[in-house]
Amino acid sequence: MQRAAPQEFDRVLSSMCTRPHPAARKAAERFFATNPGDPATYQAVAALEEDALSYLGEITGLSAPHGYVTSGGTEANIQAIRAARNHARDDDPNVVAPESIHFSFQKAADVLDVELRVVPVDDDYRANVAAVREAVDDHTVLVAGVAGTTEFGRVDPIPELTAVAHDAGALMHVDAAWGGFVLPFTDHEWSFAHAPVDSMTIDPHKYGQAVVPAGGLLFRDKSVVDSLAVDTPYLESASQASLTGTRSGAGVASAAAAMRELWPDGYRDAYERQQANADWLYDELRARGYDAVEPELPLVAASVPDEQFESLRDLGWRISRTASGELRIVCMPHVSRESLRSFLSDLDDLRSGPARN
Strand order in the sheet with 299-302: 292-293, 299-302, 327-330, 320-321
The stretches in the chain having pLDDT less than 50 are 355-357
The reply to whether 286 and 237 lie within a common domain is: no
**Residue 249's CB: how many other CB atoms inside 10 A?**
25
Is 129 part of a structural domain of the chain? yes
Q: How far apart are CA 342 and CA 66, in angstroms?
A: 44
- Please report the pLDDT score of residue 71 as a whole number: 97
The reply to whether 255 and 138 lie within a common domain is: yes
pLDDT tens per residue, range 183-241: 999 999 999 999 999 999 999 999 999 999 999 999 999 999 999 988 888 878 878 88
Q: In the Cβ-directed half-sphere of 260, how many Cα atoms lie within 13 Å?
A: 15
Cα–Cα distances (Å) from 233 to 32, 70, 128, 227, in that order, read 25, 22, 46, 18
| Nearest Cα to Cα of residue 169 among 113, 94, 62 | 94
Q: How far apart are CA 20 and CA 339, in angstroms?
A: 18
Q: How many domains does the chain have?
A: 2
Is 14 part of a structural domain of the chain? no
The reply to whether 134 and 236 lie within a common domain is: yes
Tell me the chain's radius of gyration from C-alpha atoms: 21
Q: What is the identity of the amino acid at 96?
A: V
Strand partners, 67: 218
Q: How far apart are CA 11 and CA 343, in angstroms?
A: 8
The reply to whether 304 and 188 lie within a common domain is: no
What are the residues whose beta carbons fall under 8 Å from the beta carbon of 69, sequence distance 6 or more?
36, 49, 52, 53, 204, 214, 215, 216, 247, 251, 252, 255
**Residue 40's CB: how many other CB atoms inside 10 A?**
11
Domain boundary among 209, 242, 261: 261
- Please report the pLDDT score of residue 356 as a whole number: 45
- Please report the pLDDT score of residue 131 as a whole number: 99
The reply to whether 73 and 148 lie within a common domain is: yes
Per the CB < 8 A criterion, the answer to whether 301 and 292 are in contact is yes
The reply to whether 255 and 137 lie within a common domain is: yes
**b/e string for 286-303 if b means 16 or more Cβ within 10 A?**
eeeebebbebbbbbbbbe
CATH code of the domain in which 301 resides: 3.90.1150.10
The reply to whether 238 and 298 lie within a common domain is: no
Q: How far apart are CA 249 and CA 41, in angstroms?
A: 12
Per the CB < 8 A criterion, the answer to whether 184 and 176 are in contact is no
Per the CB < 8 A criterion, the answer to whether 199 and 174 are in contact is yes
Domain boundary among 261, 284, 300: 261
Is 206 part of a structural domain of the chain? yes
| Nearest Cα to Cα of residue 119 among 94, 139, 138 | 94
The reply to whether 190 and 159 lie within a common domain is: yes
The reply to whether 66 and 137 lie within a common domain is: yes
* Phi, psi dihedrals of residue 8, rounded to the nearest 5°: -95, 145
| Nearest Cα to Cα of residue 163 among 139, 145, 182, 184 | 145
- Please report the pLDDT score of residue 204 as a whole number: 99
- Please report the pLDDT score of residue 242 as a whole number: 87
Domain boundary among 226, 261, 296: 261
The reply to whether 80 and 213 lie within a common domain is: yes
Cα–Cα distances (Å) from 211 to 20, 128, 313, in that order, read 5, 35, 26
CATH code of the domain in which 42 resides: 3.40.640.10
- Please give the residue range of the domain that contains residue 174: 22-261
